[in-house]
Amino acid sequence: MIKINENYQKLSANYLFAEIANRVTDYQKNNPDQKIIKLGIGDVTEPLVPSVIEALHKGVDDMGNRESFYGYGPYEGYEFLRSSIADFDFKKRGININPEEVFISSGAKEDTANFSEVFSQDTKIAITDPVYPVYIDSNVMFGRTGSYQNNHYQNVLYLDCTADNQFKPDLPKEKVDLIYLCFPNNPTGQVATKKDLQMWVNYAHQNKALILFDAAYEAFIQDEELPHSIFEIDGADEVAVEFRSLSKTAGFTGTRLSYTIIPDKVHIYDQEGHSHQLNKIWLRRQSTKFNGVPYIIQKGAAAVFTDKGRSEINQQIQYYLDNAKIIQEGFRSLDIEFTGGDNSPYIWLKTPNSISSWDFFDLLINQCQVVGTPGAGFGRCGEGYFRLSAFGNKNNIREAMERIKKLKIC
């Protein structure tokens, strides 16, 4: 008899954004004439920039000629892209990352999830609450957690992020082995200073722990004092892995390309205490389970790491940040507390009149036809909060906020 991986039975029936999509589809079916404005999942709406389109076309042409045709690519990505990333994202900012430490992949979602399998089963993990659900669900699937009780999985250390600590996690009092951090944060939009990150790097050194740092939203940072990379922090290149993505940076949610930085100095340990270079282990994993991102996509991605491409995508980022301002102004006028939106595309608001997050979701879709993401979907501490994404057409964002302003409850 074929049997299920029992760990899957610990999960909620649907992935958070799949659950929202189902509810929206149901609503649309029952209300076919209503115009729904979707500010739930953070999905880009602006088209790929001209430099990327031109490079993609060039990639297509290359594949149509015997002389420039490519079959299977390198598992870790083409050298041309890995060196552009190392130069443009890191060396230019004074961070010493080499092309060999850059691993090209098809999504930060995939990489953050897949990474959990290279560590021992009894790895003690710490995640923030609220949290991007992929980090926790992937560990549940791997069998690293206990059952789900009172909105928390057993055997996981949750780091509460509430208004009391400005949605920034405090150091754990106990020892953990693996820490997931995301800044600018999804879902709260909160940012980390160099001092904040130094505290975590020091903790990782003291405890021989590893930090998985999700920097998928770094391109939205406007404040020049804020670090874009954990590798701006002293000692981080021995205790951290960084995930970056072109999804939100360059509108690649449908095109798919991400990159993970694993410095040579990062090591993990076997039962006898011998150390192993993590990037070699990751390559072993990728070469077994992954055949690389298509050449054409990597060609297109390389345009992002040029001055011309970057100036084009910066305009898009500004467009979304202007949307975030419209949302912020709307909630300010309603006297609703929120964080995020200055250096991130997400606005994290306190639901009015302490209504539960899923009730607020229902209220918004039923009365305003606006879709957002209930904070409770990101964890216990997200209850009473709600996330709106600034990705969208500006006129739709304006209209969404006008509709919300007319809501009686606000």
Least separation in angstroms between CB 198 and ligand MLT:
27
Q: Count CB neighbours of 7 within 10 A.
A: 15
**Helix (H, G, I), strand (E, B), or coil: what is residue 213?**
strand
Closer residue to ligand MLT (CB): 42 or 375: 42
Residue 246 beta carbon to ligand MLT: minimum distance, rounded to whole angstroms: 12
CB 17 to ligand MLT: min, Å: 6
Token duo for residue 396: 């739709």
Residue written as token pair 């892209």: 81
Minimum CB distance to ligand MLT smaller for 200 or for 378: 378
Tokens of 362: 């229902």
Closest to ligand MLT by CB, 186 vs 255, is 186
Bond from prior residue into 352 cis (ω within 30 degrees of 0): no
**If binding is defined by CB under 6 A, does position 41 make contact with ligand MLT?**
yes
CB of 115 to ligand MLT, least distance (A): 15
User: Considering the complex, what minimum distance in angstroms separates the CB of residue 92 from ligand MLT?
Assistant: 27
Query: Cβ of residue 378: shortest distance to ligand MLT, in angstroms?
Result: 9
Q: Which residues between 128 and 147 bind ligand MLT (CB under 6 A)?
A: 132
* Helix/strand/coil percent split, the chain, to 5: 45, 15, 40
Closest-approach residue to ligand MLT (CB): 42
**Does residue 244 belong to the site contacting ligand MLT (CB under 6 A)?**
no
Query: Residue 182 Cβ, how far from ligand MLT at the closest point, in Å?
Result: 10
Q: Measured between alpha carbons, how far is 398 from 400 in angstroms, rounded to an integer?
A: 5
Cβ proximity of 383 and 375 under 8 Å:
yes
Q: Which is nearer to ligand MLT, 263 or 372 (CB)?
A: 372
**CB 123 within 8 Å of CB 177:** yes
State the minimum distance, in angstroms, from the CB of residue 21 to ligand MLT. 11
Structure tokens at 284: 């072993």
With binding defined as CB under 6 A, does residue 189 bind ligand MLT?
no
Residues 347, 388 contacting (CB under 8 angstroms):
yes
Closest CA to 345 of 42, 41, 47, 129: 42
Determine, following the binding rule CB under 6 A, whether residue 186 of this chain makes contact with ligand MLT. yes
Nearest to 284 by CA among 117, 99, 83, 123: 117
Residue count, binding to ligand MLT (CB under 6 A): 6
Please select the residue that binds ligand MLT; options are 20, 37, 42, 363, rule is CB under 6 A.
42
Amino acid at 219: A
257 sits near ligand MLT (criterion: CB under 6 A): no
Nearer to ligand MLT, 76 or 137 (CB): 137
* Residue 129: φ, ψ to 5°: -130, 115
Nearer to ligand MLT, 59 or 189 (CB): 189
Quickly count: other Cβ atoms within 10 Å of residue 88's Cβ. Answer: 17
User: Residue 90 in contact with residue 96, Cβ under 8 Å?
Assistant: yes
Site mask for ligand MLT (CB under 6 A), range 280-299, x = bound: --------------------
Q: Which amino acid is at 238?
A: E
148 is a site residue for ligand MLT (CB under 6 A) = no
Distance between CA 16 and CA 182 in Å, rounded? 18
Q: According to the binding rule CB under 6 A, does residue 17 interact with ligand MLT? A: yes
Name which position in 38, 82, 109, 350 contacts ligand MLT (CB under 6 A).
Answer: 109
Q: Write down the least CB distance from residue 107 to ligand MLT, Å.
A: 8
Binding residues (CB under 6 A) for ligand MLT: these are 17, 41-42, 109, 132, 186
